Amino acid sequence: MTRDARVYVRRRGRLTTGQARALADHADRYRLADPAGCSPPVLLEVGFGMGHALAAFAEAHPGWTCVGIDVYQPGIGSLILQCERAGIGNVQVVEDDVRRVLPTWPDASVRLVAVYFPDPWPKARHHKRRLVQPPFAAEVARVLEPGGRVLLATDWAPYAEWMLEVMDAEPGLVNASGPGAFAKRPSERPVTRFESRGQALGHTVRDLAYTKA
């Protein structure tokens, strides 16, 4: 997968006291050392933001290994803090660019990949920075186990169409709603505060769902 352009902005943000303490005290325990060591079934969430969806899924699915990939330290701190407070013990974190991480993942080892509200990079000159590109779709198809799924969501209509075109074109994936069709919001994706804010502003969220071909 090409790594010529960043697909994210490494926002510094401001750590809250709780997030900073969570990182200092517990980050090592949550850090994923070896993707091959994950006990199945595995959820892989790419760009988990403040971690609300990932923590909710992990709490509801204690038998899963739930791995989040992100570079935003306040978000990582937030996720760890949620896990510590709720006693969630099946979450691990990778702090890195997903394009470096996915090629290290074993074939057919992930049951569910989630990509919720990736940066849309709306300006035309920045479209090359979008995460969802043909090489990414191919890597997702490779790491999915037979019958595995990938769920995506965005509230930026042009990016929704872009993702639909890219993901539909990947031969290793099948659009669960039919070619060219969006999906209903899956039960696995809770409505987060980010989404609620967007809805308040009149944004329409579009979901996509694919299965391993």
User: What stretches of 144-179 show up as alpha helix (H) in DSSP?
Assistant: 157-169
Active site residue 97: no
User: CB atoms < 10 A from the CB of 59, how many?
Assistant: 17
Catalytic member of 25, 107, 119, 207: 119
The single-letter code of the amino acid at 168 is D
> Apex CA 20: angle with CA 14 and CA 22, to 5°?
140
What is the 8-class DSSP label of residue 108? T
Q: What are phi and psi of 65, to 5 degrees?
A: -95, 120
Active site residues: 119
